[in-house]
Structure 1
């Protein structure tokens, strides 16, 4: 599995600790240093079964500057949202864990995190 993290994020540090405690094998991706491409974002969103606006941190300064709270949330607008997330990875909600079984979670709650921990 892979976990997208920002090391300054307490939820990310908690998730890493839980993965370690469970003996999970994983790869860390510091997504601010290695931003995902639009195609990678599309793949993760498909695995999450979410749209880009669902994983966007709208309170970030970049989102406010872009006026994203007022952007339409329709299928026709996905490209605009994906481009903003790719250009400004700080806007991506974290941590995101992509599990080996194909699903993914935004691991901000204990329940979501537990769903990817090994048996």
Structure 2
């Protein structure tokens, strides 16, 4: 299991703390310091079964700076979205947890965390 976190994010700290308390072993990736590649983002999107615009943090200032809201949300522009996420990892929703079974979740709520730890 791997968790992509930003230590400044309260949701990330809560997720890591919940995993710790449950005794789950995981690798922590500070994705702002170690940005994911385009291939890694595509892998996570496949695991999540989501499109890149579903995990984009549109309220981040960089989203406005690069006019991300103007990029169409369609297959023809998917690579543009993924490239933006790779170039500006702060745009990636957090925390993302990749599970050993090949799936992944965006663990922003207690219910999702409970499913992961099996409670």
TM-score range, shorter chain: over 0.9
The SS at the match of 1:115 is helix
Equivalent positions of 1:1-119 (< 5 A) are: 1-118=1-118
- How far is 1:112 from its partner? 1.4
Which structure 2 segments of 5+ residues have no match? Answer: none
What TM-score, normalized to structure 1? Answer: 0.97
In the TM superposition, what whole-angstrom CA distance separates every residue of 1:9-67 from its partner, at most 9, and x where no partner exists?
00000001100111000000000000000000000000000000000000101101111
Question: 1:79, 1:115 → 2: CA distance?
Answer: 31
Which structure 1 segments of 5+ residues have no match? Answer: none
Q: Kindly tell me the number of residue pairs found equivalent between the two proteins.
A: 119
Bigger drift between 69-78 and 82-91 goes to 69-78
What TM-score, normalized to structure 2? Answer: 0.97
Q: Is the CA contact (8 Å cut-off) linking 1:105 and 1:113 kept in structure 2?
A: no
Q: Is the CA contact (8 Å cut-off) linking 1:22 and 1:118 kept in structure 2?
A: no
